[in-house]
Amino acid sequence: MQKSRLFNVLIAIVLVTVIALTVREAFATSNIMAHKDAVQRTKTSECGSLPSRYSIHTESVKETGTRLTYTEDGPTGVDGGLMYLLSAYRTCSQ
């Protein structure tokens, strides 16, 4: 009789542990999905603020004698501004 009771208690402990782990994983999954949706909304707003891809053009600057890239919002910068802009477009297209 004692072994039967010990076996039942052991089964109950295992069952409670399995249920607890399942609930924890369900909450973790829902948290990840909520975070993914928030990131997607942020990414959408950031992508919407980029200038038009077709507005990228070069202009000759007479003062420096060089050609700089411009968008509809102004110059893209000389220290990697165009590279950043193109990488942002690549991130938004995914």
Question: What pLDDT, in 10s, does the model give residues 20-46?
Answer: 999 999 888 877 777 666 665 555 566
How confident is the model at residue 30, as a pLDDT? 78
How confident is the model at residue 57, as a pLDDT? 80
Domain that holds residue 35: 1-46
What pTM does this model have?
Answer: 0.40
Question: Do 13 and 27 belong together in one domain?
Answer: yes
Across the chain, mean pLDDT equals 77
How confident is the model at residue 19, as a pLDDT? 95
The predicted model gives 63-89 an average pLDDT of: 74
Distance, in Å, from the CA atom of 49 to the CA atom of 34, rounded to the nearest integer, reads 23
Question: Do 89 and 59 belong together in one domain?
Answer: yes
Number of structural domains the chain divides into: 2
At 57-71, the pLDDT tens digits run: 888 888 888 888 877
Question: Do 42 and 57 belong together in one domain?
Answer: no
Question: Do 37 and 57 belong together in one domain?
Answer: no
User: Is the pLDDT score of 14 beyond 90?
Assistant: yes
Sheet holding 74-75, edge to edge: 57-61, 66-71, 74-75
Name the 3-class secondary structure at 22.
helix
User: Residues of the chain with pLDDT > 70: what percent?
Assistant: 68
Candidates 66, 90, 89; CA nearest to 78 is 66
